[in-house]
Structure 1
Amino acid sequence: MFAIPLIIASVLLTVRGYHLAEDSLRQSESEGKIWAVIVAGSSNWWNYRHQSDVCHLYHLLTKQHGIPRKNVITMMYNDIAFNEENPRQGEIINAVHGKDVYEGVMIDYMGSDVTPQNFLDILSGKSLNVGSGKTLKSGPKDTVLVNFVDHGAPGILGFPNDELHLANLTLVLEQMFNNNRYKQMFWYVEACYSGSMFKNLSSSMNITVHTAANEEESSYACFYDNEIGVYLGDCWSTNWMNNTEQFLPNLAQETIEQQYQIVKNETVFSHASIYGDLVYIFKEPISTFLGHSRSETKPKPASRRNISSRRTAATPDVMLEHLKEKMSRLVAVNSVEAERLDKEIRYHIQTEGKVQEILGEISDQVTASRSRDGEIVSVVYKRPQSIEYPECNRDVLSAFFSQCYKMQTHPYITKYLYRLTNLCNAFNSKIIVSAVTRMCPQKF
């Protein structure tokens, strides 16, 4: 059911809406080129907003900011525009009553090609034998923009079928820096606990990261559309993109620091945070990474979207909320489907409780040998802590996802995973993994 829409979509995106005139635009290369890697790491209809955000950004970069398409690498699963639940077939919107942002988006990697390894290989500039094969060819004079949108948990960013771990990302970033793969790099990261991926990022690597949330909290979905039945965008992503559009064509007049402060104040549901180099890149104009407007005349600012007055939801809760909304709409017209949805909802509610029990028992097993040390035992139940041992975090969460529950199918578990990752600050990974294996001998 997915294969046909994907084929149709890939053909359309190769032809429809592609204007050679846009690629005739050339940014000044005297100080290097601007490269962009933009990623929607999710799949499934209820995650609509992630691909919507990325499509919106694609047009900002290429149509409005003049970055050549050849310098923009896009990853998204591409199961939204032609999804059977989409009442606007072939379209994706990023605001209520908004215009289509899907047409003309050139997707380099879609479906099963949207993986953590392919993403890391693209950043590393390695050749890929899938998708378009496009990879990051940046050099020591170039600036690199990375935008990642999806679910997250302590020390991980989600992909459709796998996870990107802090330990693996850190290694690639260090290699990029040591190999002079960029002059400066700037990230926008929309994900729960996104700050945990960058809290310990070195300030000397010429990288700055702006995140939707700190290391302890969820990010939030915004703009619920009653007709389409999904959230159309993410609150923080909407704020920073709206800020960028408000300043067109004056991107050179607003610095990274200024945008951060504005967006931080406007993002009321989570704590927008910033990491890495907060000295030099902080003072750079946004245009260093996002390009310049094609227009010489400042357009009329887009009407601001008042997020605080609209319906929102914490990202881990969106799926269950979506199922409940869908069931309520079907009760009067399709009782069989409504009953099926009710069973699915009850399964997830029960599973959320079960996950908390499992994590509690794993914690008790791991800390049993040091139960008299109140400080060590209590560390598990405190709020999410800084990830001091990324390799342990990777090994433990990989074991849990492979043998217990996946965050892609059970997104609410991300609210409780810190109970596992905190253990890594006091115990050996082998002990924790062994406890996970005993509690989850098989994948549920």
Structure 2
Amino acid sequence: MKLRFVLSVFLVTFGIFLVGCKSEDEKVVKSITVTVSDLPNLSLDEKIDLYEIKVVEDRAEPSYDSSFFYKLSIICSSASPVSLDLTELGISTIESSISIFRGCIVLQGIKLPDSLTTIGGSAFSGCTSLKSVEIPDSVTTIGMYTFSGCTSLKSVEIPDSVTTIGMYTFSGCTSLQSVEIPDSVTAIERSAFYGCTSLQSVEIPDSVTTIGSEAFSGCTSLKSVEIPDSVTTIGMYTFSGCTSLKSVEIPDSVTAIGSGAFYGCTSLKSVEIPDSVTAIEWSAFYGCTSLQSVEIPDSVTAIKGGDIQLGFYGAFSGCTSLKSVEIPDSVTVIGSCAFSGCTSLQNVEISASLITIGKYAFYGCTSLKSVYIPASVITIEQNAFKECTNLLSVVFEDIEGWSPQVSNLVETTKLLVLGYSFTKS
């Protein structure tokens, strides 16, 4: 197999032009012809600056095996910077196992052929100079880590043929400011845009039914996001660390807000949880220090907790601006650490259906002054109100059957602040 490589510099085409920079005022231009079979013996005396390498076929049925890609990588590594045009080649797949462009720091742009259907995992990962990529409409699959760590990539247009954005596909693309997700996409998989710190907005089409865990985690510039009605679950840590996210509208289709979904969204001021949600998982809104209000619908049956000793926090732990919360009648359990560290929390309305207040549920809520415990509650677990240093009054609707006894209001309050547990027979 022989292929003819055409390297074009500025307006020069149909030949290989190597531009060596001798000085600011003088350039030496060499024109040579290279075939793939010659590449192993190709030696260059000096580093060359190329604008574009264009590869064209010179035989009817070429074979694009690992040897071809290896030889192609040799040419790419000989020039700096370089843009690669493969539009005239009949390549259908760039295999994950090849990954010859992985870590190619001189590659600035690439044009892919219309024959391509699959871009394998890690194909262009670590190409830190890659600024643009043209993905043809023929591509249906973009593999894991395909463009991860491409720190110069500013924008990308995903064609309508793609149905899934794979795991870590654009993770660590710190210059990526915008991305257009087509209606053909049904799934945004785990960590697809993880750590895209320049991404400011994203519009998720109605075709998407699944947003994987950590899909947009660490997107510190993301200010707004529209979640379509087609999404039923917001996965674990999906928007965690999105420190610029101020508001989010959760559609009625969502039934569960995953663990850590909005963990550390320090600019999030308000959130409206729809009636479709039945569970708010542990750490869902942990560390949302600007969150001032939250409306928990009657559909929620559990506000999940974590384990403070293991570093797993409750649904609203560390929401230091949260001033009041109303627990609906549907909730029977306030999980461990659910509201721990909510230092501005002044008012808690506990429903008449609540059965259990978990360990550390209101630990360190230093602004909480009074609590009313309805007759439905039979268990207040250890440290539920510990370190609530301004808690002066805890009133029990039913004082019978408690151990220890709750008849003495002052003594009971002191014991709760000290972290004692209470059970009712």
TM-score, normalised to structure 1, is 0.21
Larger Rg: 2
The structure whose RCO (Cα within 8 Å, separation 6+) is larger is 1
User: Going by fraction, where is helix more abundant, 1 or 2?
Assistant: 1
TM-score, normalised to structure 2, is 0.21
User: Going by fraction, where is strand more abundant, 1 or 2?
Assistant: 2
